[in-house]
Amino acid sequence: MTEVRVARKVEINGIVQGVGFRPFVYQLANRYDLKGEVANTSAGVAIHIEGLPNNIESFSKDLPRKCPPLAHITEIVLHEEPVRDFKDFTIVISREQTVMTTLISPDVAVCDDCRRELFDSHDRRFEYPFINCTNCGPRYTIIDDMPYDRPKTSMKHFTMCPTCQAEYDDPANRRFHAQPNACSECGPHIELYDNTRQKVATPKPLEKTAELLKQGGIVALKGLGGFHLAVDAENGQAVETLRKRKLREEKPLALMSYDVECIRRFAQVQPQEEKLLISPQRPIVLVLKKEPHSISETVAPGNRYFGVMLPYTPLHYLLLNYGFTALVMTSGNLSEEPICIDNDDAFKRLSAIADYFLIHNRDIYLRSDDSIVRKTAGATRFIRRSRGYVPIPVFLNKKIPPILACGAELKNTICLTKDNNAFLSQHIGDLENLETYDFFLLTIRHMQRILDIQPEIIAFDLHPDYLSTRYAREQQEIQKVQVQHHHAHIVSAMAENQIDGSVIGLSFDGTGYGTDGNIWGGEILVADMKKFSRAAHLAYVPMPGSAAAIKEPWRMAVSYLYDAVGSDFYDLDLPLLNAVDSQKIKIMVGMVDKKVNSPLTSSLGRLFDGIAAICGIRYKVAFEGQAAMELEMMASDNVKDVYDYEWKTADGHQILTRPIICGVVKDMAQGIAQAVISCKFHQTLIRMFSDLCEVIRKENGLNRVVLSGGVFQNSLLLTGLINALEKRKFKVFSHSKVPANDGGISLGQALVAAAVADKI
């Protein structure tokens, strides 16, 4: 007896277009002798299959298990269908879709197959710097509109040669419908220029570039999501010149090495870090330095870590293959401006920095900086979530209306929501100059278009002067919801952990506008998605000189000392009092007394700065968070002692900084090492905040603690608090999908706005 043939319709949602999904389905259907068809739809991919029930079952099981590496399935729906007697299995070519809900793939590192071909002298794409296939290559940065098809990408300027076209048309080929498919005959190519835009005459631009780098030259390198500035990381002179020209005095510079073995020469790579390094997202991973090493000390001064990544484009592989231990690969911009993506723009803005330009003629439509991650307390922590991850959404546990959330001021990202997807943009930057603001506007327009989202609500920060706030206020005919900064931080962590209801939220950062007009940043909130109350916070101290007190932590030190011991602090034996002009110190005290340009702050970030300055670690910073970072890096790991701590209870709990400051001062007077003081300070915060959580649990009956805010980039504090709170039987939630810093705040704003508008 022959078995009865049956038919099924399979609908698959998620990132299933432009990732080789249909060829995969085609091959799978053939393996199980199934007939029918597969097509892209507005929602994803739809398959009609008919054949023997057993085979259909095997096919359905393999579908999620064996799908292509870049696919990300969010849903599979199966229906019974009448048998239509298909004779074979075919791929139906996509028609223009009216509704676009399909997720877009991020840019992905060159795959192993392509890399093998790249270095195979018999392959027709031998040493071709733009080799790619459906499993790898550029996506998000070259897409101008949807659906994802070649004419809607920056590859539209290149007509495929017959050989490439044949690959593109062959369902059995790895390059079937690989939109950026190309070869040296028909695709983009590279050229080398000097900084006066004269073409360097050479038959081998890559070899020449490697030679120039070895001689200490600075090369602007056009990559995937923008330009890099590259120098040989072992050449101290070159690194220093780069820093000077880029006006980037001390911030760590990222490195790129050919493979993990190269990285092991100068850093200690743990297995979990190796996994991140070789992942197709290819982020910059923070790894502990290994002493001794040959990398220039100026790459990451005052830091225990190097930020390292592996090559992610074929061009990177070809260049790194010339025998560098590592290249410095820092973003191609001047100081805090957005990175260059366009050739003309790069020559204009980078000519004073770079000696040479290795450029190509495949346009980048949307810039995307390198992502930065670190492994802490068993999870991946994003410092910057950008290339490789964007635009994969954060999946929410509920549907919410279309919302545009504008983010904060520093490390800005925006967030657009659709159903249960929250699309965080790539890193936009600090919204402090016109260039970055333009990029902010461009990103909003671009993402709304490619994701087809018309927001009904706009969410933005409470700060009246942020550019993002002004932008939101200018928008017409849209519901506006203003969100307090620290509330947004907590809700951001709740959203990515898919939790609802009330929580205890530890929201620790440098700066955020409070509901009382003061500068908050050491906040323990009792919060749900809609509202919050301030259960505890650091007691206010003045910031003499306002923003200047962020750049010059010695000012905060003076403020904390004056607050703790009054005028007696002049007599203390602290290195700070010798390092800073006493006249200047008196001016600060005068400003505090007269309340001139000295806003009040409860910021934990500032307390870190103040302690760093009192310990003599750093009086001025070159970038945000530098003093706090150096204080953390300095900490020894064997101190269990804590300083006295105390809070007074009136209108919530106000945590006094006085006992901690006095404790540090006393240790300094006794010549206790900075490393010990730093560790003791961290231990104090951990003990004190977990005590406070205990008190708040008694008051409110809440047992879930959420950790968010830029201070949680501090891995000592994050790890210590998670351990301490879990020991006390709290359920602890922290960030592992979006940054704890302001780069993740737009996600929280979106969810608060949905809750305030009664849409969730």
**Residues in touch with Zn ion (CB under 5 A):** 111, 114, 133, 135-136, 161, 164, 183, 185-186
50 interface partner picked from Fe ion, Zn ion, none, CB below 5 to 8 A per type: none
Q: How far is the CB of 133 from Zn ion (least distance, A)?
A: 3
List C-alpha distances in Å: 14 to 37, 453, 733.
Answer: 19, 17, 26
**Is the backbone peptide bond immediately before 147 cis, with ω within 30 degrees of 0?**
yes
Q: Using CA atoms, how far apart are residues 679 and 690, in angstroms rounded to an integer?
A: 17
Q: How far is the CB of 13 from Zn ion (least distance, A)?
A: 24
Closest to Fe ion by CB, 137 vs 743, is 743
Q: Using CA atoms, how far apart are residues 17 and 41, in angstroms rounded to an integer?
A: 9
Q: Using CA atoms, how far apart are residues 346 and 395, in angstroms rounded to an integer?
A: 36
Of 71, 72, 17, 103, nearest to 422 by C-alpha is 103
Closest to Zn ion by CB, 186 vs 695, is 186
Count of beta carbons in the 10 Å neighbourhood of residue 218: 23
Q: Are 513 and 483 in contact (CB under 8 A)?
A: no
Residue 13: its H or E element: strand 6-15
133 interface partner picked from Fe ion, Zn ion, none, CB below 5 to 8 A per type: Zn ion
Detail the DSSP E strand segments found in 97-208: 190-194
136 interface partner picked from Fe ion, Zn ion, none, CB below 5 to 8 A per type: Zn ion
Q: How far is the CB of 189 from Zn ion (least distance, A)?
A: 12
Structure tokens at 369: 């900086």
> Which one of residues 34, 228, 742, 757 is an interface residue with Fe ion (CB under 5 A)?
742
Q: How far is the CB of 180 from Zn ion (least distance, A)?
A: 10
Stretch that binds Fe ion, among 23-31, 258-266, 510-518, 687-695 (CB under 5 A): 510-518
Closest to Zn ion by CB, 111 vs 679, is 111
Kindly write out the interface string for residues 511-540 of this chain, putting x where it contacts Fe ion by CB under 5 A and - elsewhere: -x----------------------------
Closest to Zn ion by CB, 166 vs 434, is 166
577 interface partner picked from Zn ion, Fe ion, none, CB below 5 to 8 A per type: none
Detail the DSSP E strand segments found in 379-453: 379-384, 394-400, 403-405, 415-424
Asked if residue 509 binds Fe ion (CB under 5 A), the reply is: yes
**Is the backbone peptide bond immediately before 455 cis, with ω within 30 degrees of 0?**
no
Q: How far is the CB of 317 from Zn ion (least distance, A)?
A: 12
Q: How far is the CB of 104 from Zn ion (least distance, A)?
A: 18
Closest to Zn ion by CB, 56 vs 114, is 114
552 interface partner picked from Zn ion, Fe ion, none, CB below 5 to 8 A per type: none
Stretch that binds Fe ion, among 265-273, 502-510, 533-541, 608-616 (CB under 5 A): 502-510
Closest to Zn ion by CB, 138 vs 720, is 138
Q: How far is the CB of 751 from Fe ion (least distance, A)?
A: 16
**Sign of the four-CA dihedral 528, 533, 535, 539:** positive
- Concatenated DSSP letters of 157-183: G-PPPHHHHHHHH-TTSTTTT-TT---
Closest to Fe ion by CB, 225 vs 512, is 512
509 interface partner picked from Zn ion, Fe ion, none, CB below 5 to 8 A per type: Fe ion
What is the Cα 346 distance to its own chain's centre?
23
| Strands 44-51, 6-15: pairing kind | antiparallel
185 interface partner picked from Zn ion, Fe ion, none, CB below 5 to 8 A per type: Zn ion
DSSP bridge partners of 360? 190
Q: How far is the CB of 108 from Zn ion (least distance, A)?
A: 8
Q: How far is the CB of 187 from Zn ion (least distance, A)?
A: 6
Q: How far is the CB of 640 from Zn ion (least distance, A)?
A: 52
Closest to Zn ion by CB, 183 vs 635, is 183
Asked if residue 409 binds Fe ion (CB under 5 A), the reply is: no
Give the alpha-carbon dihedral of 490, 494, 497, 498, to 10 degrees.
-170
The count of residues interacting with Fe ion (CB under 5 A) is 3
The phi, psi pair for 153, rounded to 5°, reads -125, 170
742 interface partner picked from Zn ion, Fe ion, none, CB below 5 to 8 A per type: Fe ion
Q: How far is the CB of 493 from Fe ion (least distance, A)?
A: 12
For the chain, how far is it from start to end, CA to CA, in angstroms?
A: 55
114 interface partner picked from Zn ion, Fe ion, none, CB below 5 to 8 A per type: Zn ion
Closest to Zn ion by CB, 116 vs 265, is 116
Query: Is residue 145 exposed (0-12), middle (13-18) or buried (19+ Cβ within 10 Å)?
Result: middle
**Sign of the four-CA dihedral 597, 602, 604, 608:** positive
Closest to Zn ion by CB, 181 vs 209, is 181
Residues at the contact surface with Fe ion, assessed by CB under 5 A: 509, 512, 742
